[in-house]
Amino acid sequence: MLVFILTVIASFAALLGGYTALRSRKQLHLAMALTAGLVLGLVAFDLLPELFEGAESQGLDFVWPMLMFTVGFLAFHIIEKLILVHEHAEADYTPHTHPKLGFARAVALALHSFFDGLSIGVGFQISSAVGAAVALAVIGHRFADGFDTANFMLLHKNKVDHIKKFMSVVIIMPVIGGLTSLVFTFSQTALVFYLGLFSGILLYIAASNILPQAHGHAASYKTVSLTVTGVALMFILTRFI
């Protein structure tokens, strides 16, 4: 019952993040600057430390989860290039938008959201203390997950109605993951490989999509400051809260 309650709270945190993003869409470049920092901080201070800790506990050579990290980075790059159809060949990295990229981001986050809920359940299988710590970490970054997914879909010209539908999937997935943990036991090695894959995808999205759009639209001290603020907030959230 406790796992269910905590995953529901995590879902509402993502909902609040998505709602905040939709309300701030008139200042999208500023929201994207903050989002870029949040995503970079999530990868650096949450996902990669979990990956290395999990690899060490499983006796894995770090090169294998980092291989998955590289695969995730390159896979999203390849998907992006296959989806995009440019009217004119361009030699530079001009920022671009396409609704299918927003959809791909939502699908990736939906999978991550499932594993967020699953992680809470698995944590409680180890001990109540571990479960509570994992739940706090998950709930803390679910707001950022909802916020950056909605912003990314807005950036790529997805319709608001479509964003709400995709967000509903992202929101419910932690609950499904938590309930799944009550029925099945999953390999920790598989979760480590997944973390590597998803971290690579997120890093590509932040560096190749979100940052160029945020700073290319209206580069200023404000956008740079918001990016740094996002990184700092995620550092505080993951290290101290």
Looking at residue 56, what is its pLDDT?
92
Question: Which pair of tokens denotes residue 6?
Answer: 């905590």
Distance CA 163, CA 54 (A): 33
Q: What is the pLDDT of residue 154?
A: 72
Measured between alpha carbons, how far is 189 from 182 in angstroms, rounded to an integer? 19
C-alpha dist (Å) from residue 8 to 115, 170, 174, 201, 202? 14, 12, 7, 26, 24
Domain ranges across the chain: 2-83+96-240
Residue 219: helix, strand or coil by DSSP?
coil
How many CB atoms neighbour CB 135 within 10 A? 25
**pLDDT for the residue 144:** 67
User: Residue 195's pLDDT is what?
Assistant: 81
| Other beta carbons within 10 Å of 203 | 21
The CA distance from 194 to 3, in Å, is 22
If the chain, 241 residues long, is cut into consecutive pieces of 10 residues, what is the mean pLDDT of each piece? Answer: 86 80 70 82 86 90 94 84 49 52 69 81 75 74 71 71 75 87 81 84 80 67 89 86 64
